[in-house]
A and B are shown apart, each in its own frame.
Chain A
Amino acid sequence: MEQVQNIVSDRELQGSNLQTQEYFINVGPQHPSTHGVLHLKIKLDGEIIEDVDPILGYIHRSVEKMCEKLSYRQIIPITSRMDYLSAHINNQAVALAVEKAMAVEVPPRARAIRILMAELTRIGSHQLWWGVMGMDLGALTPFFWGFRDREMITEMFEETCGTRLTMNYIIPGGVATDVHPDFIGKVKNYIRHLRKKLPEYDEILTGNRIFIERTRGVGYLSPEEAVSFGCTGPTARGSGVSCDIRKWHSYDGYDKLDFNEVLFNEGDNLARYKVRIKEIWESLRIIEQVVENFPEGEVMGKMKKVIKLPKGEFYQRVETARGELGVYIVSDGGNTPYRIKFRSPNFSNLSVLKKIVVGSKIADMVATMSTLDLVIPDIDR
């Protein structure tokens, strides 16, 4: 054995003729696993990733600059197009920031509707993510199951808001119109439906041996790194970092509702997966509570025809399906913001990618990217 070792170490000393060579591949901007126009430049040694370099900007629309020329009501439709899977929650963030600046009281019914819409959005977003996660790991059936259940949510949105993806429904002062008369009944039906269907999700994907092998211990993100990279949402909560804005900086009456912040300490892909599945259950609980005590009354607070923010700086944060969305408005007293800045959750979540995939295999990178749940237009804005 020692002789063998000597031979091998001799070879290493001689500079080894068994050297391997790294090579680059470009994943994206058109690639099935990036779910958008993200471009990753990957340095590979065989199948193992040595370096990842995300290249952004393929879908940059200069949202922030555009907003400087738009009135506060016109900003709302622009935000719907950032994280298009959390359109309601993006709208809500701007609406809340404006209301905070103007000190407007939002009627209770509007607040209840906002919570309903936000939580339904969260469920829909997680369902879509769940299907795509399965697809990234090679199981195609979950994709269709997830979309089947998300479709019902989209239909409810369409009935009330008129659109399916970019809602523009939550506006400063309340919501645009009252909900459709059938809405509450349908939501109640949907809760019953989803409580039956969610265990099926576990049967086809969560309980699968291959799925667990593929996700457990893969893409480990330590809580310290999660904090230092500014990760939020399920990505950070999978590492045990408590960061739910709904709990810490409650808005629109979340503090009066009984729900838990979902935390897992493992920090791997499976933990991030479990967080999102559990969050669907928690969102169902929230919706149930709101629907049971659905207040009557106005859906629009007292707002002026032309919204003018007082001079100053305003910040509002909300919890989207992907993490913390911050809206920072600098106003010079006019009817357009002097400067507006969105702190989008996906940008920070993407930044951690390099940290957690280097050293793993290509297949693991795809799985990890999937559990980060990236929406590219929100990164580029």
Chain B
Amino acid sequence: MIITALIIAISVITLFAVLGLVLVYMERKVAAFMQIRLGPMRVGPWGIAQTLADTVKLISKEDIIPNGADKFLFNLAPLMVTVIATLALAPLPFSDKWIIWDSNVGVFYVAAISSLTVISILTGGWASNNKYSLIGAMRSGAQIVSYELSVGLSLVAMVLLSGSLSFSDIVMTQQDAWWIFKGHLPAWIAFMVFIIASTAELNRNPFDLPEAESELTAGFHTEYSGMKFALFMLSEYINMFIVSAVAATLFLGGWMPLHFGQDNFFNHIMDYIPPLVWFAGKVFFIIFLIMWFRWTFPRLRIDQLLTLEWKYLLPISLINVLAAAWITVTGWHF
């Protein structure tokens, strides 16, 4: 049992590092191509080793703790954000056999864990003893707490449709078609609300107010340098992966290949592509979508951000939950 735990721990940490490297590289390339640049090109062919070089740089940088900062909390915040991101990876099914913890309350668990992220951001912003950081932390708190509701409600809609809180059960319900195809209007609305609200929870553009470079320099992590800053960045990317994985699993079938109906020729062809590839493909598609937002949209203002949530997304998702319940009760979905 200890050996199993060790293997899992090592593979999760490896996954963490590799995902961080890949996603940062991907972000820079996506940004570069949207901005008619080439992006990193010097370190290795097509600059693929650039993020590795950056990691070495970040590790070797001086670790600065500002005067007047609460040292204990200042050091705790990046640690907390990383641990929370790791915890949320546990119940996600990577393929039909690869799942760390097949929990029967997986969806609920991920929602619960991701609600803890805000604590580390608040702590980091407060402990820095910097007004920009404090404003960033306050914005982040208001933002994450509000958008959690919409994320939760869109998850509830999908749980209603699939009738389970377990990720692997939800994937199995999509054997005949993905929920985005057979879920009708509630699934589409839930998908859109989920993508918008979780982008806000990730603090990414157009909802990157807690960092808001042009207003707050870097928001809650203004004072962080070196590896602690890197941990904040890393967990942001890991959270992006988790959000995309949840979206892919709930709406796009997770590792389930593209199926239509039962046991026909088309489904058998699709089954030749391994589940892991399906999963990765869907996840990276949604990650690309979120990156696309970042590099084309301006930022919202704080009151507009809250208006969007409380006046539009929340009522829409509340009605959507009712609609999903109605459809489930009457059995209109196939």
Partners in one complex: yes
- The answer to whether the Cβ of B163 comes within 8 Å of any Cβ in the partner chain is no
CA distance A347 to B296 in the complex (A): 33
8 contacts between A and B (CB under 8 A): A141-B34, A210-B297, A210-B299, A214-B301, A214-B304, A362-B135, A362-B215, A366-B215
- The answer to whether the Cβ of B302 comes within 8 Å of any Cβ in the partner chain is yes
Among B36, B139, B209, B298, the one with the most A-chain Cβ atoms within 10 Å of its Cβ is B298
Render B12-39 as a binary contact track against A, CB cut-off 8 A, 1 for contact: 0000000000000000000100111100
- The answer to whether the Cβ of A291 comes within 8 Å of any Cβ in the partner chain is no
CA distance A137 to B205 in the complex (A): 10
Q: Are B37 and A139 in contact (CB under 8 A)?
A: no
CA distance A144 to B31 in the complex (A): 11
Given A138-B205, A362-B215, are A148 and B298 also a contact pair (CB < 8 Å)?
Answer: no
Count how many chain A residues have C-beta atoms less than 8 Å from C-beta atoms of the other chain.
Answer: 30
CA distance A6 to B299 in the complex (A): 41
Q: Are B135 and A138 in contact (CB under 8 A)?
A: no
- The answer to whether the Cβ of B73 comes within 8 Å of any Cβ in the partner chain is no
- The answer to whether the Cβ of B300 comes within 8 Å of any Cβ in the partner chain is yes
- Which B residues between 183 and 216 are near A, CB-CB below 8 angstroms? 205-206, 208-209, 212-216
- The answer to whether the Cβ of B263 comes within 8 Å of any Cβ in the partner chain is no
Q: Are B298 and A210 in contact (CB under 8 A)?
A: yes
CA distance A139 to B35 in the complex (A): 11
- The answer to whether the Cβ of B11 comes within 8 Å of any Cβ in the partner chain is no
- The answer to whether the Cβ of A145 comes within 8 Å of any Cβ in the partner chain is yes
- The answer to whether the Cβ of A71 comes within 8 Å of any Cβ in the partner chain is no
Q: How far is the CB of A31 from chain B (nearest CB, A)?
A: 7
Given A138-B206, A148-B36, A362-B135, are A211 and B212 also a contact pair (CB < 8 Å)?
Answer: no
Q: Are A47 and B299 in contact (CB under 8 A)?
A: no
Count how many chain B residues have C-beta atoms less than 8 Å from C-beta atoms of the other chain.
Answer: 29
Given A144-B36, A366-B215, are A139 and B298 also a contact pair (CB < 8 Å)?
Answer: yes
CA distance A250 to B132 in the complex (A): 47
Q: How far is the CB of A217 from chain B (nearest CB, A)?
A: 12
Q: How far is the CB of A269 from chain B (nearest CB, A)?
A: 12
Q: Are A363 and B35 in contact (CB under 8 A)?
A: no
Given A363-B301, A363-B302, are A33 and B295 also a contact pair (CB < 8 Å)?
Answer: no
- The answer to whether the Cβ of A23 comes within 8 Å of any Cβ in the partner chain is yes
Q: Are A364 and B301 in contact (CB under 8 A)?
A: yes
Chain A positions within 8 Å of B298 at CB level: 134, 137-139, 205, 208, 210-211, 214
Q: How far is the CB of A163 from chain B (nearest CB, A)?
A: 25
CA distance A145 to B298 in the complex (A): 15
- Which A residues between 112 and 167 are near B, CB-CB below 8 angstroms? 134-141, 143-145, 148
- The answer to whether the Cβ of A361 comes within 8 Å of any Cβ in the partner chain is yes
CA distance A31 to B304 in the complex (A): 24
- The answer to whether the Cβ of B217 comes within 8 Å of any Cβ in the partner chain is yes
